[in-house]
């Protein structure tokens, strides 16, 4: 069985482009500065794996890490 995915937004890199939020609103939330944070502990619910990879590949700052647990 494939491991569960986990996402993390690097706050030093995130510049608030918000593509992650529009592509995967279930996985990212924006703070008052417009920077993204992973929802909850960053665990990707089953079925949303593709969105996690899509968000990662669309972040212009390469701020999103996706790891397999």
Question: Whole-angstrom distance between the N-terminal and C-terminal Cα of the chain?
Answer: 12
Residues 7-66 that bind ligand F3S (CB under 6 A): 9, 14-20, 35-36, 59, 61, 63-64
Nearer to ligand F3S, 18 or 66 (CB): 18
| Token code pair at residue 17 | 């482009």
Binding-site size for ligand F3S (CB under 6 A) equals 14
From the list 13, 30, 12, 20, the residue with the least C-alpha distance to 51 is 20
Nearer to ligand F3S, 49 or 61 (CB): 61
C-alpha span between 13 and 25 (Å, rounded): 19
Footprint of ligand F3S (CB under 6 A): 9, 14-20, 35-36, 59, 61, 63-64
């Amino acid at each position: 069985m494939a491991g569960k995915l986990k996402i993390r937004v690097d706050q030093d890199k995130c510049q608030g482009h918000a593509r992650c939020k529009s592509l995967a609103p279930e996985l990212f939330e924006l703070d008052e500065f417009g920077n993204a944070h992973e929802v909850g502990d960053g665990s990707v619910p089953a079925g949303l794996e593709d969105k996690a990879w899509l968000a990662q590949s669309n972040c212009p700052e390469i701020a999103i890490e996706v790891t397999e647990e």
